[in-house]
A and B are shown apart, each in its own frame.
Chain A
Amino acid sequence: MRGFRGMLLGLMVSVGAVAGAKAQTVEIEYWQYVFDARVKAMNELIKRFEAANPTIKVKQTTFPYADYQTKIAAAMPAGQGPDVVQLFYGWLDNFVGAKFIQPLPRDAFPPAAIEKDFYPIVSAMKRDGEYYALPTAVRSLALFYNKKLFQEAGLDPNTPPKTVDELLDMAKKTTKRDGAGNMLSAGITLDFPGQDYHWWRETLLRQNGGAPYSDDNKTVTYNSEAGAKSLNWYADLQRVHKVGQVGFMDEGQAAFRAGRAAMTIDGSFRLGAFGGIKAFEWGVAELPASADGKKANFASYWVNAITTKPTGEKLEAAKKFLAFVTTPEAMQLWLETVGELPARKEAAETEKNLNHPVYGPFLKALGYSHATVFVDEMAQRQVSLDMINRVLLQNQDAKAALAEAAKAEQPILDRFYKK
Chain B
Amino acid sequence: MNASSSRVDAQSGARLSSGLSMRQKQVLWAWSFLAVPVLFYAVVRFYPTLEAFWIATTNWNLLTKPSFIGLANFKRLMADPVFWQVFRNTALYLLLGTPISLLLAFTIAYHLDRVRFLHGFIRALYFLPFLTTAAAMAWVWRWFYQPVPIGLFNNLLAGLGIAQQPFLRSTTQSLPAVLAPAIWAGLGFQVVIFMAGLRAIPTTYYEAARIDGVSNGTILRRITLPLLKPTIVFLVVFSSIGFLRIFDQVYNMTSQTSSDPGGPLNATKPLVLMIYQTAFSSFDMGYAAAQTVVLFLVLLAVSLLQLRLLRDR
Judge whether B62 is part of the interface by a CB distance below 8 angstroms: yes
Q: Which of A245, A389, A394 contacts B147 (CB 8 A)?
A: A245
A389 and B148 form a contact (CB under 8 A): no
For A376, what are the chain B residues with a Cβ–Cβ distance below 8 Å? 282
For B153, what are the chain A residues with a Cβ–Cβ distance below 8 Å? none
A binding-site residues for B, Cβ under 8 Å: 66, 69-70, 73-74, 94-95, 97-98, 100, 178, 180, 182-184, 193-194, 245-251, 260, 376, 378-379, 382, 385-386, 389-390, 393-394
Q: Mask for B162-195, Cβ within 8 A of A = 1, else 0?
A: 0010101111000000000000000000000000
B62 and A70 form a contact (CB under 8 A): yes
Could you list 28 A-B pairs, sorted by A, with CB under 8 Å?
Answer: A69-B62, A73-B63, A98-B64, A178-B158, A180-B158, A182-B149, A182-B154, A182-B158, A183-B148, A184-B148, A193-B260, A194-B258, A247-B146, A247-B147, A251-B256, A251-B257, A378-B277, A379-B281, A385-B259, A385-B260, A385-B263, A386-B263, A389-B171, A389-B264, A390-B265, A393-B170, A394-B171, A394-B265
Query: Closest approach, in angstroms, between the C-beta of B145 and any C-beta of chain A?
Result: 9
A415 to B63, CA, bound (A): 16
For A382, what are the chain B residues with a Cβ–Cβ distance below 8 Å? 260
For B168, what are the chain A residues with a Cβ–Cβ distance below 8 Å? 247
Judge whether B84 is part of the interface by a CB distance below 8 angstroms: no
B binding-site residues for A, Cβ under 8 Å: 61-64, 142-143, 146-150, 154, 158, 161, 164, 166, 168-171, 256-260, 263-266, 277, 280-283
A182 and B148 form a contact (CB under 8 A): yes
For A260, what are the chain B residues with a Cβ–Cβ distance below 8 Å? 149
A245 to B147, CA, bound (A): 10
For B281, what are the chain A residues with a Cβ–Cβ distance below 8 Å? 378-379
A178 and B282 form a contact (CB under 8 A): no
With A182-B164, A193-B256, A249-B150 given, is the CB distance from A386 to B283 under 8 Å?
no
Query: Closest approach, in angstroms, between the C-beta of A91 and any C-beta of chain B?
Result: 9
For B148, what are the chain A residues with a Cβ–Cβ distance below 8 Å? 178, 182-184
A183 and B147 form a contact (CB under 8 A): yes
A73 to B63, CA, bound (A): 5
A311 to B147, CA, bound (A): 58
B171 and A97 form a contact (CB under 8 A): no
Q: Which of B164, B169, B264, B282 contacts A378 (CB 8 A)?
A: B282
A312 to B259, CA, bound (A): 44
A83 to B169, CA, bound (A): 45
**Chain B residue with the shortest CB-CB distance to A251:** B256
**Chain B residue with the shortest CB-CB distance to A66:** B280
B62 and A393 form a contact (CB under 8 A): no
A167 to B52, CA, bound (A): 52
With A94-B61, A378-B282 given, is the CB distance from A389 to B263 under 8 Å?
yes
For A245, what are the chain B residues with a Cβ–Cβ distance below 8 Å? 147
List the 5 closest pairs (A to B, CB-CB), nearest first: A98-B63, A378-B281, A73-B62, A182-B148, A193-B259
B264 and A393 form a contact (CB under 8 A): yes
Query: Closest approach, in angstroms, between the C-beta of A118 and any C-beta of chain B?
Result: 26
Q: Which of B63, B148, B168 is packed against the most chain A CB atoms within 10 Å?
A: B63
**Chain B residue with the shortest CB-CB distance to A96:** B63
Query: Closest approach, in angstroms, between the C-beta of B174 and any C-beta of chain A?
Result: 10
For B63, what are the chain A residues with a Cβ–Cβ distance below 8 Å? 73, 94-95, 97-98, 100
A243 to B164, CA, bound (A): 17
Beyond A74-B62, A182-B148, A247-B147, 20 extra complex contacts between A and B, CB < 8 Å = A69-B62, A73-B283, A95-B63, A97-B63, A98-B64, A180-B161, A182-B164, A193-B259, A247-B166, A251-B257, A251-B259, A260-B149, A378-B277, A378-B282, A382-B260, A386-B265, A389-B171, A389-B260, A393-B171, A394-B265
A80 to B307, CA, bound (A): 49
B62 and A250 form a contact (CB under 8 A): no
Query: Closest approach, in angstroms, between the C-beta of A397 and any C-beta of chain B?
Result: 16
**Chain A residue with the shortest CB-CB distance to B279:** A70
A184 and B263 form a contact (CB under 8 A): no
A30 to B281, CA, bound (A): 24
B266 and A379 form a contact (CB under 8 A): no
B146 and A393 form a contact (CB under 8 A): no
For A247, what are the chain B residues with a Cβ–Cβ distance below 8 Å? 146-147, 166, 168-169
For A250, what are the chain B residues with a Cβ–Cβ distance below 8 Å? 142-143, 146, 150, 256
For B171, what are the chain A residues with a Cβ–Cβ distance below 8 Å? 389, 393-394
For A386, what are the chain B residues with a Cβ–Cβ distance below 8 Å? 263, 265-266
A246 to B266, CA, bound (A): 17
